[in-house]
A and B are shown apart, each in its own frame.
Chain A
Amino acid sequence: MGFKTFPGGVHPHDSKEYSKNKPVEILPLPIKVVIPLSQHIGALSKPIVKVGDEVLNGQKIAESSGFVSIPMHASISGKVTGIDKFNHPTGIISMAIEITGDEQDDRIELTDEINYLELPVDEMKNRISEAGICGMGGAGFPTHVKLSPAAEKPIDTIILNGVECEPYLTADYRIMMEQPDDIINGLKIFMKIINAKKGIIGIEANKPDAIKLMKNKLKKESDLEVIGLKLKYPQGAEKQLIYAATNRKVPNKGGLPMDVGVIVQNVGTAIAVYEAVRYKKPLIERVITVSGKIVRNPKNIKARIGTFFSDLLEFCDGTTEDIGKIISGGPMMGFAIPSLETPMTKGCSGLLLFNKKEGHKEDESVCLRCGRCVDVCPMDLVPSLIAHNVKHEDWILVEKFGVMDCMKCGSCSYVCPSHIKLIQWINIGKLKINELQKK
Chain B
Amino acid sequence: MSDVYAVSAAPHIKQNISVSSVMWQVVLALTPALLVGIFFFGIQSFLLTLYGVVAAIVTEALIQRLRKVPVTISDGSAVVTGILVAFNINSAAPWWLPVIGSVFAIAIGKQIFGGLGFNIFNPALLGRAFLVASWPTLMTAGWKSTTPVALFKSSINGLVNLPSNVPAVVTSATPLGVVKALRDTTQISSDMAETVMNNLTSMDTLQNLFWGNIGGVIGEVSAAALLLGAAYLAWKHIIEWRIPISYIATVFILTYIFGGINGLFSASIMLPFFHIFSGGLILGAFFMATDMVTSPVTKKGRIIFGMGCGILTVVIRLAGGYPEGVSYSILLMNITVPLIDRYTIPRIFGEVRK
Contacts and interface: CB of A to CB of B under 8 A. Distances in A.
A336 B350 contact: no
Contact of B14 (A310, A339, A384, A414): A414
B2 A340 contact: yes
Contacts of B1: 339, 341
> Could you say which of A252, A362, A382, A424 has the most chain B C-beta atoms within 10 Å of its C-beta?
A382
A198 interface: no
B14 A413 contact: yes
A339 B3 CA distance: 6
Contacts of B332: none
B63 to A, nearest CB: 16
B350 A249 contact: yes
Contact of B12 (A10, A354, A368, A382): A354
Interface residues of B, number: 44
A290 B345 CA distance: 41
Contacts of A378: 349
Contact of B296 (A243, A359, A368, A371): A371
Interface in B245-293: 292-293
Given A334-B12, A338-B5, A380 B19 contact: no
Interface string A299-334: 000000000001000000000000111110001111
A107 interface: no
A252 B348 contact: yes
Interface in A239-260: 239, 243, 249-253, 255
Interface residues of A, number: 68
A217 interface: no
A335 B11 CA distance: 9
A408 B240 contact: no
B350 A239 contact: yes
Interface residues of B: mostly helix, strand, loop or mixed?
A: loop
Interface stretch (B114-122, B132-140, B178-186, B320-328): B114-122
B231 to A, nearest CB: 18
Contacts of A346: none
Contact of A331 (B9, B13, B294, B349): B13
A385 interface: yes
Contact of A366 (B5, B7, B118, B352): B118
B13 A423 contact: no
Contacts of A327: 12
A184 interface: no
Contact of A371 (B9, B22, B302): B302
A94 interface: no
A282 to B, nearest CB: 29
B297 interface: yes
B66 interface: no
B117 A366 contact: yes
A380 B240 CA distance: 17
Given A371-B298, A382-B298, A384-B297, A413 B350 contact: no
A394 B350 CA distance: 24
B15 interface: yes
A418 interface: yes
A180 interface: no
Contact of B297 (A12, A371, A427): A371
A419 B118 CA distance: 17
Given A336-B7, A374-B297, A366 B116 contact: yes
B160 interface: no
Contacts of B22: 368, 370, 417
Interface in B22-55: 22
Contacts of A252: 348-352
23 contacts: A243-B349, A249-B350, A251-B350, A332-B11, A334-B12, A337-B5, A339-B3, A339-B4, A340-B2, A352-B12, A354-B12, A358-B13, A361-B8, A362-B14, A366-B118, A368-B292, A369-B293, A382-B345, A385-B345, A417-B19, A418-B19, A419-B14, A427-B9
The 6 closest A-B pairs by CB, nearest first: A410-B11, A366-B117, A370-B292, A252-B350, A371-B297, A336-B7
Given A243-B349, A374-B299, A380-B349, 18 more contacts: A333-B11, A334-B10, A338-B4, A340-B2, A341-B2, A359-B12, A361-B8, A361-B14, A366-B115, A369-B117, A369-B294, A374-B297, A374-B346, A380-B346, A381-B346, A382-B345, A408-B10, A413-B10
